[in-house]
């Protein structure tokens, strides 16, 4: 078992990475964008060979998979001699619901269950299933696995995952908290334990995955105990264009006052809120921090973002009855020096002592940003969900 | 069945709405008008409609750009050779529609579905000018197209089973609206029933039974209508309602379709509803009612 292809299929895109598991190196990665249009964009970045970027018509996911396999085996841009060298395919799946709670090998039952969850993840699960079918059609006989964004959070106890609303909604319509970014939270919490040379079971960890979407997870005994995203990725932190937690009564109130439809109010909270709404400038944290000295709206957006994140960290300290490690990861978490600084400088009561110089270092390595005598360690760990999917696939097929 | 490029003939209210909705669903639209100027006008109206939706947070600026980029402005009908289906949305005039269909028959691929968005005219008669009338069907969308998820699939006398199946697949799977099957008959289901209700509301008003405001409140609150019948009439356009009633009166010959005198009078006075700012009620430029 050596070469594993990791696939992340969206509704009109397909991203891929081919791993050599003997040393966990990436042989090639790339993506097909704008599937279904005349001008699909294909990007292929092989190791030690020239990158490829061009436009052609890719009508559907099956055609996209064909393009990917062709590029991987291309005499000039390829990295393997034939598709027979691909030992397995691992798929990223956003929603596994209550039943699919760990990575597994795909069979009919798994596909059926992914389909049953279309209502809960209408943008993602149908696209994932198309990706699976397309792979099956092009690589018959090659084992395929699924790794779920929700799986890591399946260890949450009922008091974390239930909503205090009539239970019939849970029983009939699966309304409960599921959490997302699970693969990332799991990866960085495990890396954190390795970095500190400690058993993960001995640590109370709070992981902050702060990217365009953002969530915080309380990790206890190496397992997710609570996480900020809920039934959908809208709950929890303030994000680039998502509101995060608000008073639910605002929804019917705004619908009546502004005569909004269900779609409009959904789009308002998912695409027109967060940093974008408050700054009136951008949903991009870099632009916000670049402008906040001169622009009071950008400053307010930043302050709200940071304050809401810090409150979640505080509440998870209470959930865990303490904390040993706080981890920052993903786009903003890995790169925003000023966000980490403001969070840490307001957590001194916990024993967090920020090392300003360490925090200012920019690198792709796992690193500590607190002083040696800080009682709580704060780490920056670049996330790697694809590697996690490749590892899970490798493990499943070795069994 | 592949539906990727759709021709929309006519850039009026319905043509704009259908083009915008199709593009939102990710399809390429070939919007056809007689002149560049009419095309520009239609395109600007679509832009205004999308801007309104941004104001209501329904879409983002990026989504607007994407939607507009998929609408191609066409004056030369020969380009329609590339499309997978055509939806015609020109004025409700049987002779004009027949001319358009005869032309479409020449320029399109011979096996694609030719659909008309007519709300009252005979599909069977429109199809009579096409070589293979089996490929003609009615797709009656309701205004506003983006918000109303119903399409009447109208079978003319000679519409083929295959054409019907394709139209149903297009409606329910590609653009995800509910399609109902209707056999060719003046006014079909929606226009026939709603115009009768509006006409009856006009008689009620004319007889002095209740005020316009109260008639609308009765139906809005009493039967959970989004708009009362008189405001509905204002929104459709009084001239359009009158034309539909007259057409049904002619075709069925039944007195229940006789248009109310009040409707005729108001049309003659030029009070056509939302589009002229005044009908039974008054409206601002955005089409919102002035209370």
For residue A62, give the CATH number of its domain: 3.30.420.40
Residues 6+ apart with CB under 8 A from A152: A179, A182, A183, A185, A186, A217, A223, A224
Interface A:B, Cβ pairs < 8 A: 27
Q: Which of A157, A148, A163, A146 is nearest to A231 (CA)?
A: A163
- pLDDT tens column, A55-87: 988 888 888 999 999 999 999 899 999 999 999
Domain boundary among A119, A148, A177: A148
Q: What is the pLDDT of residue A1?
A: 55
With beta carbons less than 8 A apart as the criterion, state whether A379 and A327 touch.
Answer: yes
My answer on whether A231 and A370 are in the same domain is: yes
pLDDT band of B70, cuts 50, 70, 90: very high
Total domains present in chain A: 2
Q: How many CB atoms lie within 10 A of CB B176?
A: 9
Among candidate residues A38, A51, A87, A149, the one labeled active-site is: A149
Task: Pull the structure tokens for residue B258.
Answer: 């006789």
Q: Where are the beta strands (DSSP E) in chain A?
A: 3-9, 13-20, 25-33, 40-46, 52-56, 88-93, 104-105, 144-148, 204-210, 214-220, 223-227, 325-329, 367-368, 377-380
Provide mean pLDDT across the span A301-323: 98
Give every strand in the sheet of A223-227, ordered side by side: A223-227, A214-220, A204-210, A325-329, A377-380, A367-368
With beta carbons less than 8 A apart as the criterion, state whether B154 and B88 touch.
Answer: no
Asked if residue A161 belongs to a domain, the reply is no
Query: Is B26 in Cβ contact with A12 (below 8 Å)?
Result: yes
My answer on whether A249 and A319 are in the same domain is: yes
- pLDDT tens column, A253-283: 999 999 898 889 999 999 899 999 999 999 9
With beta carbons less than 8 A apart as the criterion, state whether A340 and A347 touch.
Answer: no
Q: What percent of chain B has pLDDT over 90?
A: 86
Dist. CA B253–CA B230, nearest whole Å: 25
Q: Determine the distance in angstroms separating the CA of A235 from the nearest CA of chain B, rounded to an integer.
A: 19
In three-state secondary structure terms, A17 is: strand
Q: What is the pLDDT of residue A10?
A: 83
Query: Is B26 in Cβ contact with A268 (below 8 Å)?
Result: no
A48: alpha, beta or left? (left if phi > 0; alpha if psi -120 to 50)? left
Residue A107, domain extent: 3-148
Q: Is A303 a catalytic residue?
A: no
Query: Is A260 in Cβ contact with B57 (below 8 Å)?
Result: yes
Asked if residue A192 belongs to a domain, the reply is no
Nearest chain B residue to A241 by CA distance is B60
In three-state secondary structure terms, B99 is: helix
Dist. CA A19–CA A51, nearest whole Å: 17
Sign of CA dihedral B273, B278, B279, B283: positive
Dist. CA B19–CA B14, nearest whole Å: 8
CA distances from A224 to A64, A105, A154, A326 (A): 35, 23, 8, 14
Q: What is the CA radius of gyration of chain B?
A: 19
My answer on whether A202 and A107 are in the same domain is: no
Dist. CA B69–CA B287, nearest whole Å: 27
Query: Is B4 in Cβ contact with A12 (below 8 Å)?
Result: no
Dist. CA A279–CA A297, nearest whole Å: 5
Q: In the predicted model, what is the mean pLDDT of chain A?
A: 94
What residues of A are in contact with residue B28 (Cβ under 8 Å)?
38
Q: How many CB atoms lie within 10 A of CB A162?
A: 14
Q: What is the ipTM metric for this complex? A: 0.76
My answer on whether A119 and A216 are in the same domain is: no
- pLDDT tens column, B82-92: 999 999 999 88
Tokens 């090392």 identify what position? A355
Asked if residue A231 belongs to a domain, the reply is yes
Q: What is the pLDDT of residue A306?
A: 98
My answer on whether A228 and A104 are in the same domain is: no
My answer on whether A77 and A216 are in the same domain is: no
My answer on whether A144 and A202 are in the same domain is: no
Dist. CA A145–CA A124, nearest whole Å: 17
CA distances from B190 to B119, B142, B193, B245 (A): 9, 9, 6, 13
Dist. CA B133–CA B124, nearest whole Å: 8
Asked if residue A66 belongs to a domain, the reply is yes
Q: Which of A161, A163, A147 is nearest to A101 (CA)?
A: A147
My answer on whether A202 and A140 are in the same domain is: no
Q: What is the pLDDT of residue A19?
A: 96
Q: How far is CA A341 from the centre of its chain?
A: 23
Provide mean pLDDT across the span A284-295: 95
Sign of CA dihedral A317, A320, A324, A330: negative
- pLDDT tens column, A141-193: 999 999 999 999 999 999 999 999 999 999 999 999 999 999 999 999 999 99
Q: Determine the distance in angstroms separating the CA of B59 from the nearest CA of chain A, rounded to an integer.
A: 7
Tokens 């890719």 identify what position? A58
Q: In the predicted model, what is the mean pLDDT of chain B?
A: 94
Asked if residue A255 belongs to a domain, the reply is yes
Q: ω into residue B241 within 30 of 0, thus cis? A: no
Terminus-to-terminus CA distance in chain B, angstroms? 49
Dist. CA A204–CA A316, nearest whole Å: 10
Asked if residue A108 belongs to a domain, the reply is yes
Dist. CA B266–CA A248, nearest whole Å: 47
Query: Is A272 in Cβ contact with B57 (below 8 Å)?
Result: yes
Chosen for mutation from A264, A266, A274, A282 (greatest number of chain B CBs closer than 10 Å) is A264
DSSP per-residue letters across A225-274: EEES--SSTTSSS--SS---S--TTHHHHHHHHTT--HHHHHHHHHHS-H
Q: Which of A157, A206, A187, A242 is nearest to A315 (CA)?
A: A206
- pLDDT tens column, B211-220: 999 999 999 9
CA distances from A382 to A209, A251, B121 (A): 10, 36, 64
- pLDDT tens column, B96-109: 999 999 999 999 99
Q: Which of A154, A319, A351, A344 is nearest to A220 (CA)?
A: A319
Asked if residue A175 belongs to a domain, the reply is no
Asked if residue A317 belongs to a domain, the reply is yes
Phi, psi of A384 (to 5 degrees): -150, 80
Q: How many CB atoms lie within 10 A of CB A172?
A: 9
State yes or no: pLDDT of A212 exceeds 90. Answer: no
Provide mean pLDDT across the span A7-18: 89
What residues of A are in contact with residue B60 (Cβ under 8 Å)?
241, 267, 271-272
Task: Pull the structure tokens for residue A120.
Answer: 């809960």
Q: What percent of chain A has pLDDT over 70?
A: 100
My answer on whether A234 and A358 are in the same domain is: yes
Phi, psi of B278 (to 5 degrees): -150, 135
State yes or no: pLDDT of A385 exceeds 70. Answer: yes
Of A1-10, A192-201, B96-105, the range with the lowest mean pLDDT is A1-10
Dist. CA A391–CA A395, nearest whole Å: 6
Q: What is the pLDDT of residue A259?
A: 86
A290: alpha, beta or left? (left if phi > 0; alpha if psi -120 to 50)? alpha
Dist. CA A355–CA A371, nearest whole Å: 5
Q: Which of B2, B26, B58 sits opposite A267 (nearest CB)?
A: B58
My answer on whether A116 and A215 are in the same domain is: no
My answer on whether A253 and A138 are in the same domain is: no
Provide mean pLDDT across the span B44-58: 92
More confident: A159 or B61: A159
- pLDDT tens column, B95-154: 999 999 999 999 999 999 999 999 888 899 999 999 999 999 999 999 889 889 999 999
Domain boundary among A148, A168, A190: A148
Task: Pull the structure tokens for residue B263.
Answer: 């409707």
What residues of B are in contact with residue A267 (Cβ under 8 Å)?
57-60
Task: Pull the structure tokens for residue A107.
Answer: 């069979």
My answer on whether A226 and A121 are in the same domain is: no
pLDDT band of A36, cuts 50, 70, 90: confident
Residues 6+ apart with CB under 8 A from B36: B73, B75
Domain boundary among A111, A130, A148: A148
């Amino acid at each position: 078992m050596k070469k594993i292809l990791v696939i992340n299929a969206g509704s009109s895109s397909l991203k891929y990475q081919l791993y050599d598991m003997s040393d966990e190196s990436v042989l090639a990665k790339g993506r097909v964008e704008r599937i279904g249009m005349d001008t699909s964009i294909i990007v292929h970045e092989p190791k030690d060979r020239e990158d490829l970027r061009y436009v052609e018509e890719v009508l559907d996911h099956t055609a996209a998979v064909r393009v990917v396999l062709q590029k991987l085996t291309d005499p000039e841009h390829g990295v393997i001699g034939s598709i027979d060298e691909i030992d397995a395919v691992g798929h990223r799946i956003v929603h596994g619901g209550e039943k699919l709670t760990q990575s597994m090998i795909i069979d009919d039952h798994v596909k059926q269950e992914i389909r049953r969850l279309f209502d809960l993840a209408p943008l993602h699960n149908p696209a994932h299933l198309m990706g699976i079918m397309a792979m099956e059609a092009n690589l018959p006989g090659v084992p395929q696995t699924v790794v779920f964004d929700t799986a890591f959070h399946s260890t949450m106890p009922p008091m974390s995952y239930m909503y205090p609303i009539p239970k019939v909604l849970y029983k009939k319509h699966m309304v409960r908290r599921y959490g997302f970014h699970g693969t990332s939270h799991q990866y960085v919490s495990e890396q954190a334990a390795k970095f500190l040379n400690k058993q993960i079971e001995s640590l109370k960890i709070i992981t902050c995955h702060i990217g365009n979407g953002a969530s915080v997870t309380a990790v206890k005994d190496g397992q997710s105990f609570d996480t900020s995203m809920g039934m959908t990725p809208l709950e929890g932190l303030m994000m680039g264009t998502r509101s995060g937690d608000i008073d639910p009564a605002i929804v019917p109130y705004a619908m009546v006052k502004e005569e909004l439809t269900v779609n409009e109010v959904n789009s308002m909270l998912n695409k027109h809120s967060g940093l974008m709404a408050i700054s009136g400038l951008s949903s991009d944290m870099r632009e916000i921090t670049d402008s906040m000295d001169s622009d009071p709206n950008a400053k307010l957006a930043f302050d709200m973002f940071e304050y809401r994140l810090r409150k979640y960290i505080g509440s998870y300290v209470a959930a865990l009855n303490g904390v040993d490690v706080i981890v920052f990861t993903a786009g903003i978490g890995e790169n925003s020096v000023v966000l980490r600084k403001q969070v840490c400088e307001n957590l001194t009561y916990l024993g967090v002592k920020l090392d300003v110089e360490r925090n200012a270092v920019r690198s792709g390595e796992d690193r500590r940003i607190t002083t040696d005598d800080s009682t709580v360690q704060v780490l920056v760990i670049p996330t790697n969900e694809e590697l996690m999917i490749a590892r899970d696939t490798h493990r499943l097929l070795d069994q | 069945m592949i539906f990727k490029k759709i021709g929309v003939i006519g850039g009026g209210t319905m043509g704009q709405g259908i083009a915008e909705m199709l593009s939102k669903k990710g399809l390429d639209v070939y919007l056809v008008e007689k002149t560049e100027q009419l095309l520009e006008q239609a395109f600007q109206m679509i832009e205004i409609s999308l801007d309104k939706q941004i104001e209501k947070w329904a879409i983002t600026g990026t989504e607007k750009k994407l939607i507009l980029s998929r609408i191609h402005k066409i004056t030369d009908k020969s380009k329609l050779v590339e499309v997978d289906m055509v939806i015609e949305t020109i004025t409700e005039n049987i002779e004009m529609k027949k001319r358009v269909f005869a032309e479409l028959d020449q320029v399109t691929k011979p096996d694609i579905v030719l659909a008309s968005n007519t709300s009252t005219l005979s599909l069977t008669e429109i199809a009579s000018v096409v070589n293979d009338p089996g490929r003609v069907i009615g797709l009656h969308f309701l205004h506003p197209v983006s918000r109303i998820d119903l399409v009447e699939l109208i079978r003319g006398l000679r519409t083929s089973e295959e054409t019907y199946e394709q139209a149903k697949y297009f409606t329910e799977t590609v653009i995800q609206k509910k399609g109902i099957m209707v056999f060719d008959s003046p006014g079909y289901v929606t226009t026939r029933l709603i115009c009768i209700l509006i006409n009856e509301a006009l008689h009620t008003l004319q007889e002095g039974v209740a005020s316009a405001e109260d008639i609308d409140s009765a139906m809005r609150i009493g039967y959970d209508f989004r708009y009362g019948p008189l405001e509905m009439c204002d929104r459709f356009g009084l001239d359009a309602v009158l034309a539909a009633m007259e057409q049904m009166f002619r075709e069925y010959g039944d007195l229940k379709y006789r248009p109310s005198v009040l409707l005729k009078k108001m049309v003659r006075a030029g009070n056509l509803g939302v589009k002229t700012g005044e009908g039974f009620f008054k409206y601002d430029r955005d089409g919102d009612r002035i209370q």
